[in-house]
Structure formats: C-alpha cells, structure tokens
Chains A and B, each alone.
Chain A
Amino acid sequence: DAMVIQNPRYQVTQFGKPVTLSCSQTLNHNVMYWYQQKSSQAPKLLFHYYDKDFNNEADTPDNFQSRRPNTSFCFLDIRSPGLGDAAMYLCATLQRGDRQETQYFGPGTRLLVL
C-alpha cells in the first residue's frame, strides 16, 4: 500500500556522472515536490510541479533538472553531481484544491558522490 515510492533508496555516483532519481505515487495528487535534505538540516525545496506546471526555486542550481511525464511519475536529474550534492532527496505529493490537503513523503533516496 505504498503511496509515494522512490527508487533507488541508495544511489552511488561518481563526481560529474549524471544521475536520475525517480518518484512515483499512487495517490493521483496534482502536486509533486523534490526536496534536498543534508545532515542536521531541514528539507530544502528544490522545485515542484502543479500538474504539468513546473516551479523552480530561485536558488536551485542549474545542475538540477526535473521531469514529470505524467501524474504518477516525477524524476530528478542531476547533470554533473558534485561532492556537495551528496544528500537525502525526498519526494512528496499533495492534492491542492482539496480542503483536507496533506503532504505525503516518500522514503527518500540517499545520494553518495564519490
């Protein structure tokens, strides 16, 4: 009954080697978020989609891109990972327009950059 699924749970990549993290949801929510969380810090919003509308945070590096091909899936692409990109990446969903909106998180993908 997993609602927000992230794959892989752990990802090791090399410095500069592109990597893609994936997120899928069974909730049919219209908003999907990508957060970056480093140790002992709060989740930092990178970008989010409302349906197909993409919203990028002003301080999200150009190195980070996202795709949402359909309602269920959202991808985070890191074009040239640096050592500073090692973090936990959290995907979340929310249904806007629903007065009982609640944000649901996936289990996260921990990225290690060698």
Chain B
Amino acid sequence: GENVEQHPSTLSVQEGDSAVIKCTYSDSASNYFPWYKQELGKRPQLIIDIRSNVGEKKDQRIAVTLNKTAKHFSLHITETQPEDSAVYFCAALETSYDKVIFGPGTSLSVIP
C-alpha cells in the first residue's frame, strides 16, 4: 500500500523567510496530492493540491511542486507570517483503493 514520508518533522523560520516541506510517496499509481494545514483542535484545512498531470501549482504565497519520476512533492511558503504557524500534512490518493494516506506532519513555527 501507499506510504508517505515527510520532512522535516519540525521547522522554525523567521517571519518573512521561506519554508519548504518535502514529501515522498511509494505508489507510482497515486495521482492526487493535497496539502493540509491543521491548527490546534481544528480539522485539517486544504491549502493547495496538485494532480499528477501538473508539475507545479501556485496560489499566492503557497506553491507545490511534483516530480512523478522521483515520486516526491514539496510545499513552498514564501514571505512567511506568524499565522502560518501550524502543523502541515502532505497526503497522497492511492488510486487503486481510493485511500488518502497522510504523511506524519511538519510542525512549522514562524518567529516574529
């Protein structure tokens, strides 16, 4: 089955700097890769996603890149702000079984 790894597990950046979180997946048939932001006590919130027919997608300060050959995808947050502090999860949709499997998460702290 699908296995998603995520690095780093914790990340601290100064306000205004960029943050990069990287994920790898194991099932080459996976074709949908969402990223979620989760604040304490709240549900995961979809912030951006990418599908396998696209290499890069951008939404304001957030971008995601996908390398299907290497089976990895990354989240890039530019001009970070304190409100970006949260836990971020990557995930992959295992198409054979319709399962969305999460990476272990990255705790991002943006220091004012």
Contact = CB atoms under 8 A, between A and B. Distances in A.
Is the interface on chain A under 10, 10 to 19, 20 to 34, or 35 or more residues? 20 to 34
Contacts, number: 52
Contacts of A99: 51
A103 B87 CA distance: 18
Contacts of B34: 102-103
Contacts of B51: 99
Contacts of A101: 32, 93
B103 A94 contact: no
B49 A94 contact: no
Contacts of B89: 42-43
Nearest to A6: B43
Interface in A19-52: 31, 33, 40-45, 48, 50
Interface of B: 32, 34, 42-46, 49, 51, 87, 89, 91, 93, 97-105
Contacts of B104: 41-42
A55 B98 contact: yes
B43 A106 contact: yes
B43 A90 contact: yes
B50 to A, nearest CB: 12
Contacts of B91: 103
A90 B45 CA distance: 12
A25 B50 CA distance: 24
Contacts of A102: 34, 46, 49
Nearest to B97: A55
B52 to A, nearest CB: 11
6 contacts: A40-B87, A42-B103, A55-B97, A103-B100, A105-B44, A105-B45
B93 A90 contact: no
Contacts of A44: 102
Given A42-B105, A102-B34, A48 B99 contact: yes
Interface string A86-107: 0000101010100101111111
A92 B98 contact: no
Contacts of A81: none
A44 B105 CA distance: 12
